[in-house]
Amino acid sequence: MMQRLTRVALLGWALGVLVWAIQGSAAGDEEKKVDLQVGDAAPAFEALDEAGQKWKSADHVGKKYLVVYFYPGDFTPGCIRQAQSFRDNMNKLSDQGVEVIGISGDAVATHALFKQAQKINFTLLSDEDGSLARNFGVPVGAGGQVKTKDGADKPVTLKRAVTESRWTFILGKDGKILYKNTKVNPVEDSKQVAAFIEKLEKK
C-alpha cells in the first residue's frame, strides 16, 4: 500500500514538473523579443489612420520606399520637431519615391488634432495597444498624457495607453528592411532618411 502511494505521489510530482516546464517554455516564447535587422522581411501590418480609415501595409509595399517611424506621442516637443522635419522635407522625399508613416500609441482622434495643428502631410497610424511597435521590436512603455488645445482653441488633456520608443525603419519595395535607426535625432531624422535613399539610388 505504501509503495503504491509513493508511486502515485512521484507520478503526480513528475506531471507537475512537466506542466510547469511546458508553461515556462510558452511564457518564454511570449516574452521573446523581436530583433529585426537590415535584410529581414518587415512584418505586414494594418491600423487605423488619423481619419479612422484602415491602412494596410500590403496596399503600399512594392510601390514606394516606405519610411515607418515610431515615436513616443503627439504634441510632445521632440515628436513635434520630428513631424515638422518630415513635413518640411516631404517634397524631396516624395521626389525620391518615399512614403512616410508615423506610428504612436495615440488614439485616432489625437492623431487628427496633431495632424491639423502641425499641418502634417503624411499618414499617422494609431497603435494604442503597442502591437505594431512590438512586431518591429520597438520597446513599448507605460502610457502618458499631454496638455494642448483642441480645434476650438480650448484646453484639453490627451491620454495615450502606451509610449513607444523613437525608432525609424525604411522598407524596400520588396518589403525588406533597408535601414534601421534606434537612436533617432528628431530634427535630423528626415534628412538622414533622404540622404540614405539618395545614396541607395546612386548604387
The set of catalytic residues is 79
The number of beta carbons lying within 10 Å of the beta carbon of residue 54 is 10
Q: For residue 42, what is the DSSP state?
A: P
- Answer yes or no: are the C-beta atoms of 55 and 47 closer than 8 Å: yes
Q: Residue 157 has which C-alpha cell? A: 488633456
Burial of 29 (0-12, 13-18, 19+ CB in 10 A): exposed
Residue type, 23: Q
Question: Which H or E run includes 67?
Answer: strand 65-70
Torsion (CA) 126, 129, 135, 137 in degrees, nearest 10: 100
Radius of gyration of the chain (CA): 22
CA distances to 20, 50, 75, 164, 197 from 157, in Å: 45, 18, 11, 19, 38
